[in-house]
Amino acid sequence: MNLRRFIGKCSRGLDVINLKASSSYSQVGEDLIVNYLFNSLNIQKPTYLEIGTNEPVIGNNTYFFYKKGCNGVCIEPNIELYKAIKKKRPKDTLLNIGIGLSNVDSATFYLFPPLLNGWSTFSEQEARIREIESGSKAKEVLVALKNINDIIEKYFTPWPNFISLDVEGMDLDILQSLDFQRFHPEVICVETISFSITNTEEKLQDIISFMHSKGYFTYADTHINTIFCKTGLFNREK
């Protein structure tokens, strides 16, 4: 353990003792894990691209960084959630679109009721699975799609430090469309668990294998999400 990391651990321990420990807004503390990672990488104000932002605060992977003074781009195709994000996070760039393999003016977005808005998806197959298992019906609305590479090129120089991806069944497709030759985000957090309301979910190993093939290692896994770090940037302790 190097001196800088030892001092950091001591400082965080004192914060806990003095009741100054940071609050997490993510599902399972992913934001705090990512923040620790960025501190280790000496990136104090990471930029972020959040694809599938959903709620602006609770269960969100980037609100912690917004509160810290960072900024980025939030992608949310649900117009009502988009309005909520815009109200809560005015300093972020907000786009009421989806991310697809190509740019199209309109694509079918399967929008679930408010209490189930985290299930909404551009994948008809995923939507039907959720409808069958839950008995809830998704509303079909048309939303524009943009390619992830065009978004990065337009809004980031040279790329976002952090990509958070949660798009209900389209995650691997979007990752495969990302131009890793041009863009090298340091940290990527992806939902890597299949949908189930009967506790029969499975780990999506194809996403993990793909990220490893693109030069990323698994830094942490919270069962729901896997956090990947660009290989060579962070020296793991033995």
Domains defined for the chain, CATH in brackets = 22-99+149-230 (3.40.50.150)
pLDDT score, position 198 = 65
pLDDT score, position 178 = 97
Rounded to whole angstroms, how far apart are CA atoms 97 and 200? 31
DSSP per-residue codes, 79-125: HHHHHHHHHH-TTSEEE--EEESS-EEEEEEEEPPGGGGGG-BS-HH
Rounded to whole angstroms, how far apart are CA atoms 41 and 20? 22
Residue 227: C-alpha distances to residues 22, 29, 38, 75, 182 (Å): 19, 11, 12, 19, 21
CB burial of residue 217 (10 Å; 0-12, 13-18, 19+): middle
pTM here is 0.87
pLDDT score, position 3 = 35
pLDDT score, position 234 = 62
pLDDT score, position 154 = 97
pLDDT score, position 59 = 92
Rounded to whole angstroms, how far apart are CA atoms 173 and 99? 10
pLDDT score, position 188 = 98
DSSP per-residue codes, 2-37: -HHHHHHHHHHHHHHHTT-PPPP-SSSSHHHHHHHH
pLDDT in tens, the chain (238 residues): 443 433 444 444 444 334 456 789 999 999 999 999 999 999 999 999 999 999 999 999 999 999 999 999 999 999 999 999 999 999 999 999 999 988 999 999 999 988 888 889 888 888 898 888 888 899 999 999 999 999 999 999 999 999 999 998 889 999 999 999 999 999 999 999 887 766 677 899 999 999 999 999 999 999 999 999 999 986 544 3
* Number of residues assigned to the chain: 238
